[in-house]
Structure 1
Amino acid sequence: MRGHEHSTNANELSGTVHGFVVQAGSVHGGIHVSGAGAREEVPPPWQLPPSVRITDRADELRALEAHRDRATEDGHPTLAAVSGLGGVGKTAVALAWLHTLRPHFPGGQLYADLGAQAPDGPADPGEVVARFLRALGVPSAQVPPALGERVALYRSLTAGRRLVVLLDDAATAAQVRPLLPAGRCVTAVTSRRRMPGLSLDGGHVIHLEPLSDDAAIELLDATLADGRVAAQPDEARALVVLCAGLPLAVRIAGARLAARPRQRITAMVRALSEEHERLEALAIEGDHDVRAALDLSYRGLPPTAARLYRLLGLHPGREFGAPVARTLLGEDGVEALDVLHDANLLVDVAEASGGERYRFHDLVRLHAAALAAQDESGDERAVALLRVGHHYLANAGRAEEVIEPGRASLEREFGRGVEPESIAEEDIGPVDGQTAADAALDWLERELPNLMAVVRHARRMGAPELAWQVTDALWPLFPRRGRYREWAEAHREGLRAAEEEGNGEATCRMLTSGALGKLETGDHAEGLAMFERAAASFQERGDALGHARTLNYRGLAHQRLGQRDRAADYFARAAAELPALGDLRAGALARFNLADIALAQGRYEIAAVEAEAARLTLEAAGDPYNAAR
């Protein structure tokens, strides 16, 4: 090419480089490199829970490793499923296998509980993929909204990595497929179902049967570790027979005996024999003994811990932190958490989530809920549910205030039997150099499953207004973290509750903020229709300010529909009316939107004037997020 014969430039590279390299002869001005390759390198995720002792699973482990060897030889990813009934040790076997692979898979470990037995149904694959993408270094704001796009990005990121994935408690093969990585990765799936469909994807399915009596005795002996099994062999065999070979039951029975070193195994056998028919809710043959073991653990609890156990069985989500216990039973509730954890009735998930956090094993949760229905009155259950619902509402409101201090929130009232001072505060403060707003957003995102559960079950809680109140408090999270599915669902539930209640203000808020979600997901026509409904409602109610705010929203919808002139007209009206009605912030946002229109039309000076005026107003109003647009 012309000029290259006399060039004195030479491209050279030395040393170790991670990521992209940009080489150029002469550079004038700034350089901005964007795209997936520009992300900062993040350490590999190591998300697998710790492994636990297993017995009599050598054949299954050999089968899993043999399948991996075959897949590796064929150049295929490894997919294995471990199925069996609840409590049989599926996750323990999968973890025992995957942990041995760590030296061969330096790309990391991903883990997801797919929640086949969750109260709100199985986990959404799109949300799980989004969580995996964030673990692999994709910022929340760059996670695509559509499932197909998320899966494509996930497979692109895993194609060149050697990592292992554990998909725990899967509901169906269809739920699993979007979560399978590319490349020569290893994926293990656990499920109560046999998952024959995964064979179509090259998967190898093994089914775990309950332990043999001899293996269960070995597990009991390892749990006790005090010689009682050898000294009382007949009693030990009778005990594991009552446990039906389920490792969960054996471990719980062993833990109770270990706490009473002078008690003979016969006492445990006698107690289980009397109560073996109490696990009726699962209706699976052989599981009655698990219920008996759980009942025995429950009967050994002090009264406060026993009551907390029952009340936590009503919790709408799968996980909860210590402040929930404080809201339910005060400081005594926090102390009772330790008792429940020590009794092996709660699983500590703090290591994975980074906070003081617990969850029930699915069988234990059902047991606790059944006891709540049995021992708590209807009014007591209703008050407990209200306390939990308002706990999440109040703390979401605190987070909202940190993120958007100038936002006009809907009025929120506490339900009957719930005193504001009884609501414990969650720790939403910053750590490791975070801003307060980022920390509050992280808390909302971490608690989103619980907050959404409150929205879904507001009627069951006896407080349908919680649906729109919690949805309103969640508003700052949805656009900032791209939580599009929850955005749509929450506003759908919130709108229904507000309309049934006849609350015009809440109805209009659900319409407008829900319509903004429609715009973000590309449903511009539906978003415009919702804005028009809100405008008509504001006008009918004589709410001039509310109607003026819809001018800006309707302008956004027309802008997304490509109707710039109509959009500019709405923005101009909003920019004129809103400051006169006292809403300087919304008026500034309208001017920002006018600047966007002017910029698209090539009227750069006008765009600069409008944008600068809007920025100054927003900074004065304490809205740095929008001021930085």
Structure 2
Amino acid sequence: MRGHEHSTNANELSGTVHGFVVQAGSVHGGIHVSGAGAREEVPPPWQLPPSVRITDRADELRALEAHRGRATEDGHPTLAAVSGLGGVGKTAVALAWLHTLRPHFPGGQLYADLGAQAPDGPADPGEVVARFLRALGVPSGQVPPALGERVALYRSLTAGRQLVVLLDDAATAAQVRPLLPAGRCVTAVTSRRRMPGLSLDGGHVIHLGPLSTDAGVELLDATLADGRVAAQPEEARALVLLCAGLPLAVRIAGARLAARPRQRITAMVRALSEEHERLEALAIEGDHDVRAALDLSYKGLPPTAARLYRLLGLHPGREFGAPVARTLLGEDAVEALDALHDANLLVDVAEASGGERYRFHDLVRLHAAALAAEDESGDERAVALLRIGHHYLANAGRAEEVIEPGRASLEREFGRGVDPESIAEEDFGPVDGQTAADAALDWLERELPNLMAVVRLARPMGAPELAWQVTDASWPLFPRRGLYREWVEAHREGLLAAEEEGNGEASCRMLTSGALGRLETGDHAEGLAMFERAAASFQERGDALGHARTLNYRGLAHQRLGQQDRAADYFARAAAELPALGDLRAGALARFNLADIALAQGRYEIAAVEAEAARLTLEAAGDPYNAARAAGLTGRACVGLGRLDRAEAELSAALSALRAETAGFEAAHVLGGLARLSERRGQRQQARQYYREAVSLYASVGRSESAEAVGARARLDALEPPEAEGSPSAPPGPDPSGDDRGEAGA
């Protein structure tokens, strides 16, 4: 079993760094300060979906723009909420308004579907604001773990930025509030609810009613564009009345007519009247008019498209790519997707999300799911769900192999009639100079809502093994992108499934990988308890290597709990047992952890010896990230020993390597070491610059209250204003930037 590859990746940093300025000072040897904060400029996000034609909404658009004008005059951000029935055109109105603002808001456009009607429940505000932060240039590893910290960073980044935000299909005002930007940004919210609570936040609330008959006829004419409306005006009015003036229903009915250029509007009116009678008892919030139009469109689909429509109604997530459709229907899916799109039954979200991706309007999804329940047998639905689940499992496994090619994964099982060869492969090839690993991580992150939906659905659908297999395959994403909530939830669900099935190997993997997530969220006691359970299980199963690896894990938990002596005992046992059992890399990590404790206790000689030994083994094992961490620790120990030239060489090399690995948290430790080195050389101004950057990095990764950050701030405050370089400085005491995040064995 392989453990935590990058235990500190949840706190890594790359991209644009905010909040500090690096000034020039005296630079000696190989220390490079000028590039310390330099990052490639991130282009503004342009996430809004494309606009669709709207009619009869001029008054609403004027009201929205007038509200923006008043807010701008008052120096306030603009907040507007658009409410109305499903299918009434709320999103279309919001998009029509926001797209006109692009020239005035060069900071970009953010978009989120808040999923009030989604099958897996409304979107979590913490997940959404994390996506916004990444879109604004905050690397995933730099996104803080807690919602409050994420919101604070989001408000800081948007305070001086001119951008627009669309929060689509909101469930409640409470869901919306954490997502409101600061400064003079513009935010539009759409919801079926009127949300008067947003008025307390300065919001302007408008409610959309159905289109007037004339406006509906105009929309129908634009949809057909073939003269039939002019030739049959009364029939067109009757059709719009049957659609209750809902734009979605008008467009769906119009798309069906457009596909039948010889059919008279009268025939559609007759058919829609019959559907109204059939669906009247099923009306929910006035959406029977849309349902009637949906039934007619469905009946006009080719058989393959109709079946794909039903099967996609079973998809557990909000969005899906074309490969999912190919997995369900083979190559026939390409033509079927086109038919569904042409019939206005699928929304193309490629412009907002990249790639070939689709989603259903929530009413359309409900309609497709209802038809699947009616027309597909229980076995057929079960097979379709399994194919969807195995599609995500197979492709997550492919991504995992790209990111961590040497990782020993849990066995992937494809049973019950699912042929792995028939599962379509997702395209997550590198673009724009990306590495293959970054592209694979991007795919995992984009599909994470679907992966989590499969994990949650695995036990209810009778395939519990999918819960732990998908969780294990998705593992590289959680620490590298700092996705703490999903990390804990996925492993909790995977553990329940593994224990119910009596799978000891999977249970141990879920315990150890999940416990590392607990440590990242600060739940150290629970993490330790989970490691202890895994250790007992390994021992019962006679797995000596697995048990030895838990020594490192348990030591890490005790270290986080402040129990340094107990932690050192566990690390020492791991350092002795793991190499004897054939895991040299994990043994080296145990020695790194021993060095970490020695450094914190001021035992610099021991720290330097253990860290250097760890570095040599990690380099030989092909682990540059942890080798760089070990070099940084050696450098800090050498500062304490007064070996300043050696310290400079080690710290400079470590900083360069950690920047290449975008490891901001670890880079902050190294900057603390460089600051102490500058102090020892009497370079107070240089030391202050390093401390400022270190403090800023700690804050940026949500660790501003950590012992390391507190120590760095204290040293910064203690330094006097810049004096002549070369004046003597008192030798430092124990290194305040000692790393308390030593990695467990792998």
Q: Is the 8 A contact 2:594 2:610 kept in 1?
A: yes
Deviates more, 1:598-607 or 1:112-121: 598-607
Q: Deviations over 1:246-274 (max 9, x none)?
A: 00010111111122222110111111111
Q: Deviations over 1:289-310 (max 9, x none)?
A: 2112112221222211111111
Q: Deviations over 1:194-242 (max 9, x none)?
A: 1111011111110001111111111111111222111111110110011
Tell me the distance in 2 between the aligned counterparts of 1:332 and 1:592.
Answer: 55
Q: Is the 8 A contact 1:109 1:164 kept in 2?
A: yes
Alignment gaps of 5+ in structure 1: none
Deviates more, 1:128-137 or 1:611-620: 611-620
Paired residue for 2:365? Answer: 365
Per-residue deviation, 1:96: 1.1
Tell me the distance in 1 between the aligned counterparts of 2:517 and 2:246.
Answer: 47
Q: Deviations over 1:447-485 (max 9, x none)?
A: 101100000100232201111111111111111100001
Per-residue deviation, 1:597: 2.1
Tell me the distance in 2 between the aligned counterparts of 1:8 and 1:450.
Answer: 26
How high is the TM-score relative to the length of structure 1? 0.93
- Going from structure 1 to structure 2, the CA distance change for 1:446 and 1:619 (only over 3 Å counts) comes to farther
Deviates more, 1:502-511 or 1:239-248: 502-511
- Going from structure 1 to structure 2, the CA distance change for 1:33 and 1:271 (only over 3 Å counts) comes to farther
Per-residue deviation, 1:183: 0.9
Per-residue deviation, 1:413: 1.1
Paired residue for 2:381? Answer: 381
Per-residue deviation, 1:16: 18
Q: Deviations over 1:355-410 (max 9, x none)?
A: 11111111111111111101100000001101111111111111112212222211
- Going from structure 1 to structure 2, the CA distance change for 1:241 and 1:600 (only over 3 Å counts) comes to same
- Going from structure 1 to structure 2, the CA distance change for 1:335 and 1:76 (only over 3 Å counts) comes to same
Q: Is the 8 A contact 2:10 2:481 kept in 1?
A: no
Per-residue deviation, 1:616: 4.3
Residue correspondences, number: 629
Q: Is the 8 A contact 1:415 1:463 kept in 2?
A: no
Tell me the distance in 2 between the aligned counterparts of 1:10 and 1:476.
Answer: 11
Tell me the distance in 1 between the aligned counterparts of 2:6 and 2:90.
Answer: 69
Paired residue for 2:718? Answer: none
Q: Is the 8 A contact 2:54 2:93 kept in 1?
A: yes
Question: What secondary structure sits across from 2:51 in the alignment?
Answer: coil
Per-residue deviation, 1:609: 4.1
Per-residue deviation, 1:595: 2.7
Q: Is the 8 A contact 1:403 1:437 kept in 2?
A: yes
Paired residue for 2:743? Answer: none
Per-residue deviation, 1:606: 3.8
Deviates more, 1:572-581 or 1:264-273: 572-581
Per-residue deviation, 1:41: 2.7
1:181 is the counterpart of 2:181? yes
Question: What secondary structure sits across from 1:223 in the alignment?
Answer: helix
How high is the TM-score relative to the length of structure 2? 0.79
Tell me the distance in 2 between the aligned counterparts of 1:2 and 1:397.
Answer: 15
- Going from structure 1 to structure 2, the CA distance change for 1:99 and 1:34 (only over 3 Å counts) comes to farther
- Going from structure 1 to structure 2, the CA distance change for 1:2 and 1:336 (only over 3 Å counts) comes to closer
Q: Is the 8 A contact 1:277 1:292 kept in 2?
A: no
Paired residue for 1:628? Answer: 628
Tell me the distance in 2 between the aligned counterparts of 1:109 and 1:494.
Answer: 36
Question: What secondary structure sits across from 1:310 in the alignment?
Answer: helix
1:350 is the counterpart of 2:353? no
Q: Deviations over 1:470-529 (max 9, x none)?
A: 111111111110000101110111111111111122111111111100111111111111
Tell me the distance in 2 between the aligned counterparts of 1:377 and 1:44.
Answer: 48
- Going from structure 1 to structure 2, the CA distance change for 1:606 and 1:278 (only over 3 Å counts) comes to farther
- Going from structure 1 to structure 2, the CA distance change for 1:157 and 1:14 (only over 3 Å counts) comes to closer
Question: What secondary structure sits across from 1:118 in the alignment?
Answer: coil
Q: Is the 8 A contact 1:404 1:623 kept in 2?
A: no
Q: Is the 8 A contact 1:45 1:110 kept in 2?
A: yes
Tell me the distance in 1 between the aligned counterparts of 2:169 and 2:317.
Answer: 16
Per-residue deviation, 1:335: 3.0
Q: Is the 8 A contact 2:429 2:440 kept in 1?
A: yes
1:328 is the counterpart of 2:328? yes
Per-residue deviation, 1:63: 1.2
Per-residue deviation, 1:338: 2.1
- Going from structure 1 to structure 2, the CA distance change for 1:278 and 1:426 (only over 3 Å counts) comes to farther
- Going from structure 1 to structure 2, the CA distance change for 1:615 and 1:439 (only over 3 Å counts) comes to farther
Q: Is the 8 A contact 1:315 1:388 kept in 2?
A: yes
Share of identical aligned residues, percent?
96
Tell me the distance in 1 between the aligned counterparts of 2:294 and 2:607.
Answer: 68
Task: Choose between structure 1 and 2 for higher RCO, CA contacts under 8 A separated by at least 6 residues.
Answer: 2
Q: Deviations over 1:158-211 (max 9, x none)?
A: 111121111111000000000001111111100011111101111111000111
Structure 1 segment 489-568 matched on structure 2, within 5 A:
489-568=489-568
Paired residue for 2:166? Answer: 166
Question: What secondary structure sits across from 1:408 in the alignment?
Answer: coil
Per-residue deviation, 1:589: 2.3
Q: Deviations over 1:531-561 (max 9, x none)?
A: 1111112222222121111101000001111
Q: Is the 8 A contact 2:346 2:358 kept in 1?
A: yes
- Going from structure 1 to structure 2, the CA distance change for 1:470 and 1:33 (only over 3 Å counts) comes to farther
Q: Is the 8 A contact 1:406 1:623 kept in 2?
A: no
Q: Is the 8 A contact 2:15 2:39 kept in 1?
A: no
- Going from structure 1 to structure 2, the CA distance change for 1:404 and 1:88 (only over 3 Å counts) comes to same
Tell me the distance in 2 between the aligned counterparts of 1:330 and 1:217.
Answer: 39
Alignment gaps of 5+ in structure 2: 630-746
Question: What secondary structure sits across from 2:18 in the alignment?
Answer: coil
Deviates more, 1:139-148 or 1:49-58: 49-58
Deviates more, 1:408-417 or 1:546-555: 408-417
- Going from structure 1 to structure 2, the CA distance change for 1:404 and 1:624 (only over 3 Å counts) comes to farther
Tell me the distance in 1 between the aligned counterparts of 2:333 and 2:7.
Answer: 76
- Going from structure 1 to structure 2, the CA distance change for 1:89 and 1:18 (only over 3 Å counts) comes to same
Tell me the distance in 2 between the aligned counterparts of 1:4 and 1:528.
Answer: 15
Q: Deviations over 1:292-329 (max 9, x none)?
A: 21122212222111111111110111111121112112
Tell me the distance in 2 between the aligned counterparts of 1:333 and 1:470.
Answer: 25
- Going from structure 1 to structure 2, the CA distance change for 1:340 and 1:13 (only over 3 Å counts) comes to closer
Per-residue deviation, 1:2: 59
